Amino acid sequence: MPRVKRGMIHTKKRRNLLKDAKGYRWGRATKLRLARVAVLKAGAHAFRDRRAKKRVNRQLMQVRVNAAVRPLGLSYSRFIDLLKKANVGLDRKVLSQIAAGYPAVFAKIVEKVKS
């Protein structure tokens, strides 16, 4: 059986790994051993933070709705409760966008829910 040299495979793996590590600081961008660890950790952080981003954005939406509802005489929790009782199908994301961009429309929604 002929001998198989694997240099090309190793070079390809190395090239792809260093391409993923491009822009990293110090030896993590150029040294294979450091780059491998850095890319693995970056992937783990990216996976975790895709979920954390959803959590942070939901908190932001709640803060925006609460800030818009307070001058109209309600609290956030009371407003959400009234929305559910009135069967209004708007979610927190849409409510926060309306509150930020169209305060007059948001005030009408609040008045509709109050009555």
Range of the domain at 103: 7-114
- Does some domain include residue 2? no
- Does some domain include residue 1? no
CA 80 to chain centre: 23
Task: Evaluate if residue 7 carries a pLDDT over 90.
Answer: no
b/e string for 72-110 if b means 16 or more Cβ within 10 A? eebebeebbebbeeeeeeeebeebbebbeeeeeebbebb
- Does some domain include residue 57? yes
- pLDDT tens-place string over residues 50-100: 999 999 999 999 999 999 999 999 999 999 999 999 999 999 999 999 999
- Does some domain include residue 39? yes
Token duo for residue 47: 């996976």
CATH code of the domain containing 75: 1.10.1900.20
Q: What domain count does the chain have? A: 1
